[in-house]
Amino acid sequence: MKITGVETHLLQVGARPAVPGLGTSRGADGHGGSRNWLFVRVLTDEGIHGVGEGSGWPRVVRAAVEDYANLLIGEDPRDVDRLWHKLYLGSMGHGLLGTVGGGALSAIEMALWDIKGKALGLPVWQLLGGRFRDRIPVYGHAKTPERARELMALGIKGVKVGFTGAVDIDAVAAVRDAVGSEVDVMVDAHGPSWMTPQDAILVGRELEQLDILFYEDPVAPENLDALERVRDALDVPIAAGERVATLWGMRPYIERDLVDVIQPDTGRAGGITQMRKMAAMAEAHFITMAPHSGSLGPVAEFAALHVMASIPNALMLERVEFDWPGRAEVVAPALRTVDGCLPVPDAPGLGVDLMLEEIAKHPSVRNVATFPDDGQAFEPGTAAEHNYFQTRRARARRLRGRWE
């Protein structure tokens, strides 16, 4: 079997429908109108094709995939890891790859696993060593008690309260009160603007009282020493890692025991094999995995299910349940949450295919985000400064009960 071609299919993700309590502050789709999905098809001379997905700036990843394609034509697609290393070495002259390179490698490698599974008549999780579980628990996003209860009605046992800029402790407390002790609550503090370590610690001490499952991205990902300060100061689990690519990018989070949960993004971590290796390294440190999926499309979601099924230290999978109706239309079959879980596919390969005609109806327009001055991402009056991080000045009104 030989590779004969590589196709890229890029689309602009539509705006989210009006869902009460979804809690986005950056435009109708939660990403400032910038959200794109990049799908890839790898073709072979035996009529078998594989599908993959790459994130990490999809419009730019598309160019990287098309460049990588020159190294793939004529190769046997079943040599998955060897071809990954061929591509990785082929681009090393450009410097460290980052998430753009990781996204391109992820999309292609995902498609190679899909081909191999189809050729052997086996689901990918079977090729990864078999499965520990046939259902993967998911968690959803909510900023209001009403939205949290809607997720609970779907059987979902985990709710994440996410913020851009400052964390609203009262909002977290309201969600915790609404879901009771039977549902896990997580807090995502990702910027920009990012908190300083001091502010992240102050917020974290308040969150300790709310019995949260983890405190995600409390400081900027470039500042691992600050993450270590936060970890040492708090008695709350820490999660991070969605913005890094490859095993080497995740390595310091694991080896320095900076986190309790790693969150590789299936579309930019570097591929299924890279995520499997991350999970194994994390297992040695008693760290669990909860892959990021907040901006991904459905193909990467399928890939995450195969990885999560095959590792012992799977925690749960992020799922934006109602992000865009097109999610269920651009692939077949569509994933459906049942009793708070996604079923692990049993079909050969990844178990999903692209609906090319539907994808073509949504051409890409742009892929960079805007951050409006909405009083959430930035300190009041500072949005035009475009600060990457900020010290929170109005601490008293942001921290629940501190002055009561």
From CA 78, how far away is CA 124, in angstroms rounded? 12
- Those residues whose C-beta lies under 8 Å from the C-beta of residue 394, and which sit 6 or more positions away, are 379
From CA 256, how far away is CA 234, in angstroms rounded? 16
* Active-site residue list: 292
- Those residues whose C-beta lies under 8 Å from the C-beta of residue 299, and which sit 6 or more positions away, are 39, 51, 52, 53, 110, 331, 350, 352, 354
Q: Which one, of 13, 12, 16, 36, lies nearest residue 25 by Cα? A: 16
Tokens of residue 84, six digits:
């990954």
Which residues are registered as beta bridge partners of 216? 188, 239
Secondary structure of residue 49 in the 3-state scheme: strand
From CA 354, how far away is CA 208, in angstroms rounded? 44
Q: Phi, psi (5° rounding) for residue 307?
A: -65, -50
Under 8 Å between Cβ of 391 and 372? no
* Number of other residues whose CB lies within 10 A of the CB of residue 347: 16
How far is C-alpha 232 from the geometric centre of its chain's CA atoms?
26
Tokens of residue 240, six digits:
């991070």
- 380-388, long-range: CB < 8 A, 24+ apart: 387/192, 387/193, 388/191, 388/192, 388/193, 388/194, 388/220
Which residues are registered as beta bridge partners of 261? 239, 288
From CA 358, how far away is CA 363, in angstroms rounded? 10
